[in-house]
Structure 1
Amino acid sequence: MGKIRLVHKHGGKMMDEAKTPEGNRASVVALGILSSRVLGLIRWSLMARYFGSGAHADVLRAAFQAPNALQNLLGEGTMSAAFIPVYSKMIEEGRPEAAGRFAGSILGLLTAVVCAGVLLGVWLAHPICSVLMRGFVGDAAEVVAGLREVDRLLLAVDMVRLAFPMAGILVLSSWALGVLNSHRRFLMPYFAPILWNVTIIGSLLGVGSVIGFTPGDNGASILPETLTRLLTAVFLGGVIGGLMQFLIQLPSVAFVIKGFRLSLSTRVDGVRQALAAVGPALAGRGVAQLSAYVDILLATLLVEGAVASIGYAQVLYILPISLFGLSVAAAELPELTRIGASSFTRMAERIRAGLRQGLFLAVPTALGYIALGYVIIGAIYRGGLFGIDDNWLTYFILATYSLGLLATVGSRLLQNGFWALGDTRTPARMALVRAIIALVVAIPAMFALDQLPVSQVTGAGSSTLYFGAVGLAAGSAVAAWVEWIFLGWALKRRLEAAFIPWRAVAEMILIVLISLIPTFAFWYVVTQNWSPLWSGITVTALFAATYLNLSNLRGRSELKAWLGRLR
């Protein structure tokens, strides 16, 4: 008892998934997230070409963010902190029936809360948008005066009424992810989001083909009504795709779960313990979500295009956090929970190993964004309505965010240690500190930089885009480092072991700097005049290959660990 044996046939032999090396679990998570993120990049690449950095692009980003309170407060992060530790412990103790009843009660309670949240969001969409997107409120008067063609506030209200049901369905999908992760089933929950991206892409391309607008068209003859139809297609596709993402996981859940019974009871064993952990977890997630909402509000106060440009940069910024932070963290949390307080030494060793492995790929990504970001962004977004000035502004935002990328990945991995110890309060407190510091730095910086046109610095493009959004990114970067350092200090006090591997990070940085030398030389001599797409692909591939080969020559253990995950 105490070990779940999931037996499969593979190559004529029997494979016990419970005995599969932990690294392989993280590689499945990483591969699933990578597949989803690659499709996400394709999705955002198409949307950038269709909408550029104009009014519809601002609405697209802001409306997607509006219902995130549901998804971020009740989704994967809260499941990791509250549901997975309790459910995994029951499985480890050989109580699958109790675990099934616990999962049924959690799903029932979660569904009730989600339905209430979705209904309120749809009903209160106008006041929500009026507060959250304060900078859009004056659009109506400007439309009447003939100063603009699109009332972003009214358009955002319509899109938010579609975005809330989408977010609610995705929250329910995170429950299925929590169940499958606890049974060490990582394939389906991390590949299911592919359906969400594919559905949105299909909806956008389908409607675009019907109305005769392709991503390569320039903006000279595009009517606002055409862009509005395309925008509606994106959100309708999101609702349908979210439903498919949830439903496709249910057969796998039904296979592993025992004793499942849907209920709203809080008396089921484990429910009150999970709910007790939800409060502090919600506090931490709530602070982060409030900070994200404040960022949207502030961005809408800037020149048109700021919200969209931040969104394009964040897509790339979040990619390594998901791939190299969340993939390791998702695979490690059930194992850390099983260790619990029985051995602080073993727990510290696992956390340190996971941290080094996550940073091994986060370090070159962060420095690569800073050094090669303009080329990378051009490869992904350039074309259609996304021009040179959009490329430059998105690059400066991404490069500034990247200054805090290592710290953000590190913080996500350190949070696992606190959650495994049943401590959700410390990460919550640090999230509050991070949010405050980010605001203190960002507000003066963004308004000062919003007076500086992009074209004045780059000498390219028009003067309609300004650098204000870079100030928001600067606040995020500074606050990320404060959070990581203090989380490392707090966990060191709990487990009596140091966690932040400064020496290893320094060597990784040195390898990156050496790798950039041939990369820049190749770009300058060979690919500088190529198309943005092929130049970006070639330069990025050369940089990655050089870094990995030099790391191999140095005998970096983290590279061997990642290669072991892929076998």
Structure 2
Amino acid sequence: MRAGGARLVAAGILLSRLFGLVRQRVTAQYLGAGPVADALAAAFRIPNLLQNLFGEGSLSASFIPVYAKLLAEGRREDAGRVAGTILALLALFVSVLVLLGILFAPQLVWLLAPGLGQETQALAAGLIRIILPGLGLLVLSAWCLGVLNAHRRFFLSYASPVLWNAAIIAALVWRGGWQGAESAELAVAVAFGSVVGSALQLAVQVPSVVRLDRALRVGAGAARDEVRTVLRNFGPAVATRGVVQLSAYADTLIASLLGAGALATLTYAQAISMLPVSLFGMSIAASELPAMSGATGSREEIAAALRARLESGRARIAFFVIPSVVGLIAFGRVMASALYEGGAFTRDDAAWVWAALAGSGVGMLAGTMGRLFSSASFALRDTATPMRFAALRVGLAAILGLTLAMTLPERFGWAPQLGVGLLTAASGIAAWLEYRLLRVHIERQLGALPPMGRVPVTLWACAALAAAVGLGVAAVLPTWHPVLEAVAILGAYGGSYLAMTRVAGVDGARRA
């Protein structure tokens, strides 16, 4: 039962991420890694930043624990009134936010990516003004996700972004493939497609929300104590997400200074590296949050229940994320070539994406574990502590990223594009600090977690040996299409890892 919710979240995320990769592949096919691709990447950064600030992450941290607790206690009328009041307040707030974003789009672009050329910044500002209205719909979609997750309905909310990606893909194929539009016109088509996709993503979730929460009353007077709790926790949750987004902002700013194509390279790499983070970090953390929030009993019983879920969750994360890290380092070029190579995107571009993927592997395990421990903190109604730890991580990541990416390539005569890989590695180093702080904090609240023993060492060894098998297959393969090469090499790697872990008797292998 524990893994069931995580599997549904992972299935939904996998489906949406696959469509996201297809979207990135089609985008790379038509736009490559040039200035227009940079403008589009910068334009999506602003809505993504605002959505992450006020959308799923913040609502999950503040709304789900309160709403799920009311459901667990059988107070469905109060739960419905709380959900309706939060929806009304959220809609009003986001409307004002979107209006301000449209008015100050040029200034937002300048703040986000000052290294872009003047024409590229102007294009990005125009794209932001088109994209932003869809932002409000996506934030409301995140509210739907909170309601559905609290009712343990995980698949639909995490699969709904498929429609967003599909709308953008359709716009690219229609304007680029059938009408042969220029690259700037294609970027505009992508922006309009994103708005249509946002509307579809919201619309597909609303019927399920209404069916599950019959007591929902939009704008109705709610149980005031619970609403105040949500709003009180929402502030630190937004601040936490804001600190996290400062890290993304710093990465974007530094990448924009590394030369043309660096920002697009970072965006292409993140589309790949976020897949295992989402599948094996977000899925487990998201499914555990309502379960941990709904724990009842004495303080000792609640602590024991949360410890058990943390122990199970980190074992599942390790089993899948460790081979993901090794795979990104060993086969990042294979992945990038399979997904993006063709048209305006060359094999050299894939090599730079590989460097960024290898850097992403440095902190992937820490980042995914950190999500799980943050969920435990949210379940305890503590959203302020993760904010402080995230601030420390961002500060360290910014200092390291600026130092490594901006100085080492010039000092040693490396290609500037390698700075993107150093940038992602710096963020990974900082993620380990955040994870350590989160774990110490949670263990002080709940008691010490039992050590994982030799399991991590076994998983690293199995992943390394499986990588050797994959590299051996790569060495004897003839020159094939990049997709066929990826299927053969990654298939050999993944199959070998699963076989070796089964032989080693790792429990996660039996659940895979």
Shorter-chain-normalised TM-score: which range?
Answer: over 0.9
Aligned match of 2:137: 169
Distance change >3 Å, CA 61–CA 501, structure 1 → 2: farther
Aligned match of 1:245: 201
Structure 2 Cα separation of the partners of residues 413 and 289 of structure 1: 19
Amino acid across the alignment from 1:240: V
Aligned match of 1:510: 461
Deviation, structure 1 residue 276 = 1.0
- C-alpha contact 2:458 2:504 (8 A) present in aligned 1: no
User: Percent identity at matched positions?
Assistant: 38
Structure 1 Cα separation of the partners of residues 451 and 148 of structure 2: 30
Q: Does 1:108 align with 2:85?
A: no
Aligned match of 2:189: 233
Mark the structure with the bigger radius of gyration: 1
Structure 2 Cα separation of the partners of residues 511 and 56 of structure 1: 42
1:263-321 Cα offsets, whole Å, 9 max, x none, are 17676451101111112211211111122112212222221111100001111111111
Alignment match of 1:436 (pick from 353, 370, 395): 395
Alignment match of 2:272 (pick from 277, 299, 316): 316
Distance change >3 Å, CA 365–CA 452, structure 1 → 2: farther
Structure 1 Cα separation of the partners of residues 489 and 342 of structure 2: 19
CA RMSD of aligned residues (A): 1.8
Amino acid across the alignment from 1:165: P
Distance change >3 Å, CA 107–CA 554, structure 1 → 2: same
Alignment match of 2:334 (pick from 349, 363, 375): 375
Range with bigger deviation, 161-170 or 492-501: 492-501
Structure 2 Cα separation of the partners of residues 535 and 234 of structure 1: 30
- C-alpha contact 1:351 1:499 (8 A) present in aligned 2: no
Q: Does 1:338 align with 2:294?
A: yes
Alignment match of 1:34 (pick from 14, 36, 40): 14
Deviation, structure 1 residue 25 = 1.8
Aligned match of 2:378: 419
- C-alpha contact 2:102 2:128 (8 A) present in aligned 1: yes
Q: Does 1:545 align with 2:466?
A: no
- C-alpha contact 1:105 1:268 (8 A) present in aligned 2: no
Return the TM-score normalized by structure 1: 0.87
Structure 2 Cα separation of the partners of residues 517 and 59 of structure 1: 39
Aligned match of 1:294: 250
Show the 5 A alignment for 1:138-157: 139-140=117-118, 151-157=119-125
Aligned match of 1:532: 482
Aligned match of 1:558: 508
Structure 1 Cα separation of the partners of residues 294 and 398 of structure 2: 38
Amino acid across the alignment from 1:544: G
Return the TM-score normalized by structure 2: 0.96
1:353-401 Cα offsets, whole Å, 9 max, x none, are 1111012111101111001111111111111111122111111011011
Show the 5 A alignment for 1:130-279: 130-136=110-116, 139-140=117-118, 151-212=119-180, 226-263=182-219, 268-279=224-235
Structure 2 Cα separation of the partners of residues 405 and 376 of structure 1: 17
- C-alpha contact 1:98 1:269 (8 A) present in aligned 2: no
Amino acid across the alignment from 1:241: G
Distance change >3 Å, CA 450–CA 49, structure 1 → 2: farther
Structure 1 Cα separation of the partners of residues 224 and 446 of structure 2: 32
Gaps of 5+ in 1: 1-20, 141-150, 214-225, 458-462, 563-567
Deviation, structure 1 residue 503 = 3.2
Gaps of 5+ in 2: none
- C-alpha contact 1:70 1:168 (8 A) present in aligned 2: no
Deviation, structure 1 residue 450 = 4.8
Show the 5 A alignment for 1:349-428: 349-428=308-387
SS in 2 for 1:451: helix
Deviation, structure 1 residue 507 = 1.3
Structure 2 Cα separation of the partners of residues 264 and 57 of structure 1: 45
Structure 1 Cα separation of the partners of residues 256 and 249 of structure 2: 11
Higher relative helix content: 2
Aligned match of 2:422: 471
Moved over 6 A (4+): none
1:404-454 Cα offsets, whole Å, 9 max, x none, are 11111111111111111111122111100000110111112111245389x
- C-alpha contact 1:48 1:386 (8 A) present in aligned 2: yes
- C-alpha contact 1:449 1:467 (8 A) present in aligned 2: no
Q: Does 1:347 align with 2:288?
A: no
Amino acid across the alignment from 1:192: S
1:330-352 Cα offsets, whole Å, 9 max, x none, are 11111111226443122111111
1:161-200 Cα offsets, whole Å, 9 max, x none, are 1221222211110100110111111121122111111111
